[in-house]
Amino acid sequence: MSLNKSATLSGWGKYPTVESNVLRATQLQDVPNAILQNSSPALIASGLRRSYGDSALAETTLQTEKLNQFIQFDETTGVVECAAGVSLADVLNTFVPKGWFLPVTPGTQFVTVGGAIASDVHGKNHHLDGCFSQHLISLTLCVASGEPLTCSLTEHRELFLATCGGMGLTGVILAARFKLIPIESAFIEETTWKTDNLAETLEQFETHQNATYSVAWIDGLTKGKQLGRSLLMLGEHSEKKYVSYNLKTAEPSQRNVPFNMPSALLNSVTVKAFNTLYYHKTRQKQSQRQVHYAPYFYPLDSIQNWNRLYGKKGFTQYQFVLPKEAGLEGLTEILTKIVDSKRSSFLAVLKVFGAQNANYLSFPIEGYTLAIDFKIDSTLFAFLDQLDEIVLHYGGRLYLAKDARMSERTFKLSYPQWQQFQQIRAQYGADKCFNSMQSKRLGL
């Protein structure tokens, strides 16, 4: 284990930054040693640093991305066991050629399995298949005493429910066992529906509720009758007979943003031009194509360091969920407020969520979730505070893995099981050991 004192760290949004003592675990035994030797009450584990805000920032950061070994794999059942530092890209590159795919994946493959569990990530199939944790068989967690505990729905159940979605605040995830899904091809049969407004977009989500994957890109700058016009992209895994080369993994990206772009380049004029071109690239009401899984699930992974597009000050992704019954009214109110503010974003993604799971801090509830990027300026956070009030009014909440500025009040009003979560933390001594900038800000 190596120590690099006073490194400047940030999340993927490049805001905020913190000076942190960085411990780098290279073998599993380094983790309990780091926990027991650490004198700071603010230690947090971190993988590939793709959480957007400050959930993986602390006075002491334990980097676990080198704990990236596969432990075992059952070729008949698809059950894989691996160390927590294995990335989703590692899983895909290893098992797609064997005919297996992730049961749930977020919008980037460059997150670790440990990070996927801690954030309880969701994907384009949540309405049918839930979060990543719902495909976990078990996980191994190193708690504050340095002891590794096996957790599942039947063993240390409460600790399991607190760890999945618990943002690393219960301990350090060492390893996990989860089940992959069989595929015949690395390709996706994609159907795109072009909608005229938000109401039609939500109607199409309902019409195609049995599609395995669904996601909509929303034009965040149109108003009036065109408010919420979208491209809704449905997906199904291709069958082997339809493709000539079936189980090909993604090629490494050759495109790169080499430096922080001038923030002024992203403005209402440039983004409106991009959005107009992107929306009209699909000319027909319905279109179909066959596409590799990488551009379907991970379009932004094709550009290295794309977060530099937002400039030196960085950006925050505002992702919230509203209950289904409040979807049209609430989304209309929020989108109208965003459009009227003239805050520009070329990335606005809408998905539909299925039923809520039992994890204390897992984000999804049944309804609609919108994620939209905003470059940071001096007035942004006051504006987002206004959006928070609308989200709370409709019974929604914000995603902790994307959050960089939510208030303690907003968090505690929207995550009603936070007290049970804290009780589990206290029971295992985690509250005196595992804390992040985010947990302190949120009163945890």
**Ramachandran bin of 330, using left for φ above 0, alpha for ψ from -120 to 50, beta for the remaining angles:** alpha
Residue in the structure block whose two tokens are 């994609």: 190
Considering the segment(s) 187-406 as one domain, its CATH architecture is 2-Layer Sandwich (3.30)
pLDDT higher than 90, residue 416:
yes
305 pLDDT band (50/70/90 cuts)?
very high
> Which residue reads 């804290």 in tokens?
422
Percent of the chain with pLDDT over 70: 98
Q: Check pLDDT > 70 for residue 1.
A: no
| pLDDT tier at 216, thresholds 50, 70, 90 | very high
Q: Could you give the residue range(s) of every CATH 3.30.70.2520 domain in the chain?
A: 187-406
CA distance 142 to 171: 6
Q: Measured between alpha carbons, how far is 166 from 418 in angstroms, rounded to an integer?
A: 10
- Asked whether the predicted pLDDT for residue 265 surpasses 80, the reply is no
Delimiting residues of CATH 3.30.465.10 domain(s) in the chain:
70-183
Q: What is the CATH number of domain 70-183?
A: 3.30.465.10
- Per-residue pLDDT band at 245 (split at 50, 70, 90): low
Query: Tens of pLDDT along 62-116?
Result: 999 999 999 999 999 999 999 999 999 999 999 999 999 999 999 999 999 999 9
pLDDT for position 346: 76
Q: 67's torsion region: left (phi>0), alpha (psi -120 to 50) or beta?
A: beta
Reported as a pLDDT band with limits 50, 70 and 90, residue 272 is: confident
DSSP 87: B
Q: Which two tokens stand for residue 62?
A: 């334990």
Mean pLDDT of the chain: 94
Of 137-141, 297-301, 319-323, which range is least confident? Answer: 297-301
pTM confidence score: 0.95
**Is the confidence at residue 244, as pLDDT, over 60?**
no
Model pLDDT, residue 106: 98
Mean pLDDT across 331-355: 92
